[in-house]
Each structure stands twice: as C-alpha cells, then as structure tokens.
Structure 1
Amino acid sequence: MTPNYRVCLLVGFVAVIMIVPYVHPDTNANKATETPIKHVVILMMENHSFDNLFGIYPMTSNGSVVANITKPLNLLTAPHLSGLQQVANGSFSTPDPYEGYGQYHTDWNEGKMNGFLNGSGPNSLDYFSANQTGLEWDMAMNYALADNYYSSALTETLPNRLYSIAGFSPVSQDQLYPPPFVAYSETIYGELDRYNVSWSYYFLNPVLGINPLDFIYGINNHLNHIGTWGNFISQVDNGSLPAVSWVSPISGGAFFYSQHPPDNILSGEIWIYYIVNKIMESPLWNSTAIMITYDEGGGYYDQSAPPVVAGQQLGFRVPFILISPYAKEDYISNTVMSHTSILAFIDYNWNLPPLNRLVAYSNIPLDMFDFAERYRNGQIIRPPYNFDNMLNQFLPRDLSDSTSLASGYHSVGYIFPVPFQFNPSTLPYSRTGQSNFNLSNDTSYFVAHDSSFIPWYLNKLFYYPVIAIAAASIIFLSYRIFKRRKLRRNR
C-alpha cells in the first residue's frame, strides 16, 4: 500500500461522519450460531508475507521449539534463491520493498517464486526473527497458526481489503478514490444486515477517513455501524460487542500501528496484544474468536506458490492467527485458505448462504478450533492465557499508545517462548492438520453475480455527451453573437 493511499480522505464522508454518532451496540448476542462462537473480531494488519514474519518460526537461540511443523519446512531451506537477510537485532523495521501489481507478478513469475529481486527488489529478501516478532510468536504458539493462508489477489492492499469484505474487488490495483465501487448490498455488511446479524467497523477516528469502506457505494447510509477504537474498548469492557467486529489499524488518522514497512512492527504487535488482552479480561472471552491476518505480502519473499481457488488466482501467503478459548494450543493448520475464508466462517457460523461463489469454495478454518475434546482439567473451554505474568510490560495505557511504548525496546527475543498453558503431550488433538470443509454444496449465493458499480454522475460515458453538448452550445452561442455583431456593422 502506498503512503498516499494510506492517508487519503474523502470529504463527503467526513462531513457525514461528523454529524452521525456511533450508536450500534450488540442487539443479538443470543442469535443462534453453528458453533459456540458468538463474536468474531477481525484484525487485518499490513504488508507482510508468512515467510517474512514466520519463516523461521519457531526457532529460538536454543534451537527449534517444535521442529519441522510449518509448511514448507523452513524459510532457510527455500530452494528458489539465496541472499535472504535476517533483520538485525535492535532493528524493528526494513525499508519498504517495491510494491505494485506488476512488481508482484514479477516476484511470482508464474508460480516459480524466484523473481523477487527483479520485482520487489533487495529488501524483499529481509525476514524477521523472535528478536522482533517474539510477542506475535507467543500468541501464535499458545493458540493456532495457519501456514497455508493466502491473500485473495496477487496485487496490493485495496483489492485485497475489498475481497476481505465483499469476496470481490472491482479494482486490480491501489487507487486513491472511487469509482468504481462495490455496492453495499453485495458486501458481507449487506448480508449481515439482511439476516439481522450485528456488526461494526472501528477506526481510530472515522472523521479522518474510513478506508476501504469509502469504496462501498451506500456506506454513508450505514454510518451507525462505524465507531472509534474507544467505542470498541468500551463495548468489550461491558460485553456489548456486535456479533462481527473489524478493528482497523489503518485510516482514521492511524499511523504506525499497521506494521506497514518501514514502520516499527513491534508497535503493531503491541496494538494486537492490547486488543487480545482486553478481550481475555472481558465477559466476552468464552464466546469470541479473534482472527489476525495481513492484507497482502507487501513484496516480501515467500516460498509457497499461491494456488487457484474457484478460478481465482490467490496472492502471496500471509500469516493467520486464531485466538479463542476454543482455539487449539500450538496448532498449525495446513488448510488452504484466504481472506474469503473469514467470510465463509461468518456465513457458516451464523447459518447464512455463502456471500458469493468464491466464498462458497473457500475452506473454513474449523480445524483450528476444538469444540468437543476435553483437556486434562475436564474443560473444553480454555481459560484466558495469563500473558500478563510475562508480557505485562507490553500493555500500553490505551490502544493508541502502542507506538510510544514500542520505541523503548532493543529486542524482544527474550520473551519467546512463554510457557504453554497445557503440556503439549497431554493435548487431546494433533498439533497439525488440515480440512477441506467449505460451503460449496450450497449454491444459493447471497450475491449471484459480482459487479462493479459506477454512479451515472461519475461515469465517464456520462461526461462525453455533456461535454459534446456544452461544446456545441458554446459554438452555437458564439455563432449567434458573431452574427448579431455582423448585422450591427452592416446597419
């Protein structure tokens, strides 16, 4: 995602948001669900591939905690190229690799995954270790991590974020402003409204921007669903969170939280940890699933060639972490998934039709949950992991304070790994697995045919006849004026 795109504002939305307060607490917490999950919280960070953040997971200074568990086995065995560079201890960022549709397709090189130097450039070969990602690795190790999860399109931020909310994108590259739009009725929000499932999208300050929602035509009629980070924390504390929540580290005046290079990635980790910790301390913990992922790979190297699902060429592999009292401990999912898998889970869990065909064919991360097997203590629901004992130094005063806290650290490798909640040898399930469960048997799609939308007054085809008529009018008026002046001279 380009810096300009990150700060783009739409004045029309600003004006409306300033006069429409957020008034959408949970109204249907008891709505029937397919699983015990009543609340889904989605955090989509920015621009890191799986190998860039988890390529040598779970390596520590003492060797591998769980050897050969990720797929492929290890970044350091990557067959495609040499020149991989571990980010130095003391640094929490790298320069931004070259981004773009063309660069990413060069990186990909028809699935050979060997074009990164020519596409995204030398910084694409940088990768992080526990020295920078220890906090995120701790959360992944004590809950569930997917190592076969991909961005939805082989391109930049905007299209991937639109796929994550509509299962479709009318644009193939980043752009500052719409059109084209996605119609509100063709998004997950339109579907949730249709079936009376509550939802909200939270920004630091919506007055300062609501990207990517400004690419949804009709969103200005639903601004009661858009809140602030403060609204989110208040609703977590009092247990009134909607069924589905998106908390955005971008737009709305938010800078340095999303982990977008060259930002300090620890700032984003602390931001995530604050949200996770708040939910763990709240009455919502026993019914919540927190889904953490990245919009796209950002030009960073990844060795896994993205597959094709339902005719859609997926983008680069990105991390996906599931945190929940029902998430398996230290579990690695090999299930092929993408951003539309989150939409598929929402549809499955609330017994909705698949949003569209791509969502229907997207595998659902059910293998990452344990809804039936009991632990040695006889419980199925895991109590909150008490990260505070080890990681309370990373809790900021509030959600917007993570950037200043992150600046005080030289390394966080010493915090990984924290102890397991349960002894791995006693777990009632395998520590790795996969599932091919999806909704493809249900062909009653909520959106039968995806389409981009351009209002008539923004359509270029509308302006051509307007310009032609205006030009003809000017010519006609000029002729009349000229003719009158000529008649006056002749008199």
Structure 2
Amino acid sequence: MSTSSKLFNIDHFVVLMLENRSFDQMLGFLYTENGNVSPLGHAYAGLTGKEFNFDSQGNPVHVFKIKASDPYAYFMPGADPGEGYFNTNSQLFSNHIAPNPPVPANNDGFVKNFEYSLGWEKTSKWSILPGTTGNSIMGMFTPKMLPVLSTLAKNYAVCDHWYCSAPTETLPNRAFLAMATSQGRLTDKDKVYTAPTIFKQLSKSNKTWSIYGYDKAPLSRGSYTDITHAANSHFGLFTDFKQAVDDNTLANYVFLEPQWGKG
C-alpha cells in the first residue's frame, strides 16, 4: 500500500498548535541516554548536554536539565524570552538582522538575547521570578519532568527538524498554518487575514471541519475573513470537542485553540 493510499484510512486530523517553547527545551533530552537514537533505530536530533551559548561576557553557558526540586521548575526560564522577528534573529544568529545571503542558524544568541530582554523587562517592571538570569534560558526539561508529552513522543512520532513558517510572533505563524501565508506580516499588530483558508477548501471538498476555543469563542473566526460568516456549527469550546469525541461526531479536520495567556 502506498503512502498516499494509507492517508485514506485516516478519518480525523486533530491539530493543537502551541508555541513559545523550543524543541530542545521540551524534547531535546528525549533519547539522550540512548545516544539520540530512537527505539526504531532512527537518528534523533536531540541534545548531548554539551551544547552551549556564550553570555555577554564571553563565558560559555551549557544546557542543563531542569529538576523538579528547582524553584519555579515549571515556570522556567523565569521571565518572557524575547519575541518577534528581531529577537528571533538575535537568538538564531547573534544579530537582529538576518544574514544575507542566508546561512544556517547557529542558535548561539539565546543567552545574550535573554540578558537583553531581562534588562528592559526589569526596567518596565515586568514579572521576573527570583533568581532568573540570562543563563536560565539554557534550562531544558527531561522526559521525567514531562511524562505525558514524552510518552506521546515515544509512542507516536516527533519531527525533529520542523520549523515555524515565520521566525516571529503568534498570529503570522497561525495564519501560515491556516492559509499558507502570513500576507507579509511579521507582528501580531494586524489581526485580520483575508487569504483563502484550509477550512473553506475542506468545505469545497465535502470534508467537515471544526474549530474549538478553550473556554472562549475561537479567535480564528474573527481573524480569518474566509470563515467569519461560516455556520455556528463549525465552532465551539473545548467541552464541545470532548463531547464530539465521546459521541463519535468529530469533524474530519479539527483545530484546537489554547487558553490564551502566559505560562
């Protein structure tokens, strides 16, 4: 059976799009103890524990494992890392201007950029947990710290070279997933997108779709003009999603929106 024919055996796609956590931080240590080789023998682009960034003083700061006994362990790195296009460039290339012509990212600017972010966040009286330093950004979770996510990863599949479509904020990346374009936008300032979406294409192909917000109406409906006036039956809350699963009435394509906020 070909790969394409196997797709016809899949009745439902459920998409949960999260953000602001790197692959390394969440799953980097998944197979480190096995030499970064999966149980099926596939090479895994995980961490060895030897990776490091330089701080602003030129000192190497290595990745380290977050422990349950650490203060604020599940709130690491303790403050908001820099977001947006220029901060992302700084993290990937140690320069807020992306290189031209393009070169592979070294990922060597995370500590220095976090030091910079902590500086202005402190001045602006943003929330910073006690003990947070630029080095905190190099803390990574272990499978023991994230048992549910790690179990899912080990029993299904992980894409270890999957990158965001636009190295920037939330809404442009969500637009890319829904319509294969951010319409040239690099910030969350503009919240309405007018390009055709996958949802309308699904309807044209006689496939069903639903979008569920967590405890509020999904933002996508107002953001994507393509579906703003779609029938109310396409939209619901997370409780409705769970009911659809129980009733075996789940749509062919389901998009779950998280509870918006920090954490």
Distance verdict in 2 for CA 1:102–1:228, change over 3 Å: same
What does residue 163 of structure 1 align with? 176
The alignment's TM-score, normalised by the length of structure 2, stands at 0.72
- Identity over aligned residues, as a percent? 25
The residue that corresponds to 2:74 in the other structure is 92
* 1:119 aligned partner, one-letter code: N
Match of 2:225 among 207, 217, 221: 217
Structure 1: which amino acid aligns with 2:224? I
Hey, what does 1:205 align to over in structure 2? Answer: 215
Matched residue type, 1:68: N
Question: What is the CA–CA distance in structure 2 between the aligned matches of 1:97 and 1:117, rounded to whole Å?
Answer: 10
Change (3 A) 1:87 1:220: same
SS in 2 for 1:76: coil
Q: Which has the larger radius of gyration?
A: 1
2:122 matched to which residue of 1? none
In 2, the alpha carbon distance for the partners of 1:197 and 1:166 equals 17
How many residue pairs get aligned? The number is: 212
Greater relative contact order (Cα < 8 A, sep 6+):
1
Q: Report the CA distance between 1:146 and its aligned residue.
A: 1.7
SS in 2 for 1:148: coil
Distance in structure 2 (CA, Å) of the matches to 1:234 and 1:114: 45
Partner residue of 1:103? 87
Q: How many angstroms does 1:226 deviate by? A: 0.9
Look up the match of 1:141.
154
1:151 matched to 2:164: yes
Superposed CA offset, 1:411-444 (max 9, x none):
xxxxxxxxxxxxxxxxxxxxxxxxxxxxxxxxxx
Matched, 1:118 2:112: yes
Partner of 2:249: 240
Preserved CA contact (<8 Å) 2:88 2:168: yes
**What do the CA deviations read for 1:135-190 (whole angstroms, capped 9, x no partner)?**
21111112222211111111121111111111110221122x534x223xx11011
Q: 1:38 to 1:221 in 2, by over 3 A?
A: same
1:163-202 superposed matches below 5 A: 163-170=176-183, 171-175=185-189, 178-179=191-192, 181-183=193-195, 186-202=196-212
- CA–CA separation in structure 1 for the residues paired with 2:158 and 2:226: 35
Q: How does 1:332-343 map to 2 (within 5 A)?
A: none
User: What secondary structure, in the 3-state scheme, does the structure 1 residue paired with 2:111 have?
Assistant: coil
Q: Deviations over 1:230-269 (max 9, x none)?
A: 2111111111111000122134xxx5xxxx5xx2xxxxxx
Equivalent residues of 2:221, 2:228 under 8 A apart: no
Deviations along 1:111-144, one digit per CA (max 9) or x if unpaired, are 2221212324424322111342122111111222
Moved over 4 A (4+): none
Q: Would you say the 8 A contact 2:31–2:46 is kept in 1?
A: no
Task: Spell out, residue by residue over 1:80-118, the C-alpha distance to the aligned partner (whole angstroms, 9 max, x if none).
Answer: 554224323232121221222111011111422212123
Q: Which residue of 1 aligns with 2:45?
A: 72
Q: For residue 218 of structure 1, report the CA deviation from its aligned partner.
A: 4.1
Map Cα deviations across residues 305-364 of structure 1 (whole Å, 9 max, x no partner).
Answer: xxxxxxxxxxxxxxxxxxxxxxxxxxxxxxxxxxxxxxxxxxxxxxxxxxxxxxxxxxxx
Decide whether the 8 Å contact of 1:198 with 1:244 is kept in 2. yes
Corresponding residue for residue 40 of structure 2: none
> Structure 2 vs 1, CA of residues 200 and 51 (structure 1 numbering), >3 Å: closer, same or farther?
same
| Mapped partners of 1:145, 1:172: distance in 2 | 27
Q: Which AA in structure 2 matches 1:174?
A: D
Q: What is the CA–CA distance in structure 2 between the aligned matches of 1:213 and 1:132, rounded to whole Å?
A: 35
How big is each residue's C-alpha offset from its partner over 1:30-51, in whole Å with a ceiling of 9 and x where there is no partner? xx98431011111112211110
Q: TM-score w.r.t. structure 1 length?
A: 0.40
Matched residue SS, 2:146: helix
Instruction: Please provide the CA RMSD for this pair.
Output: 2.3
Alpha-carbon separation, structure 2, partners of 1:153 and 1:239: 35
List alignment gaps of at least 5 residues for structure 2: 38-42, 55-59, 94-98, 100-104, 116-133
Q: CA deviation digits over 1:30-81, x for unaligned, max 9?
A: xx9843101111111221111011111135xxxx2x3322543524132655
* Distance 1:213-1:169 versus aligned 2 partners, 3 A rule: farther
Q: 1:249 aligns with which of 250, 255, 258?
A: 258
